[in-house]
């Protein structure tokens, strides 16, 4: 398992946080996702054999948010 922290831009409320958490939770291989509005980031624990950092970032972007 790998854990990474991804800066997420564009979140303005707890609804945004919920959206990002839902999107991350739907990715096969993601075991945990913590999203912080205050820190503007997502900390994701995932199985690199089932998904990739690029796929995680793409899912966040597809949900309408920017990743740094």
DSSP the chain: -EEEEEEEE---SHHHHHHHHHHHHTSTTEEEEEEETTTTEEEEEE-TTT--HHHHHHHHHHTT-EE-
d(CA 36, CA 26): 18
- pLDDT tens for residues 24-47? 999 999 999 999 999 999 999 999
Position 29 scores a pLDDT of 95
Number of domains within the chain: 1
First-residue to last-residue Cα distance in the chain: 22
Q: What is the mean pLDDT of the chain?
A: 96
- pLDDT at position 68 over 90: no
- Domain hosting residue 29, numbered range: 2-67
Which pair of tokens denotes residue 44? 């994701």
Q: Is the pLDDT reported for residue 63 higher than 90?
A: yes
CATH number at residue 8: 3.30.70.100
Instruction: Give this prediction's pTM.
Output: 0.90
């Amino acid at each position: 398992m790998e854990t990474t922290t991804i800066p997420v831009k564009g979140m303005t409320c707890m609804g945004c946080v919920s959206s990002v958490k839902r999107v991350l939770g739907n990715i096969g291989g993601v075991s945990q996702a913590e999203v912080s509005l205050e820190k503007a980031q997502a900390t994701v624990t995932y199985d690199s054999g089932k998904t990739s950092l690029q796929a995680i970032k793409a899912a966040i972007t597809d949900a309408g948010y920017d990743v740094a």
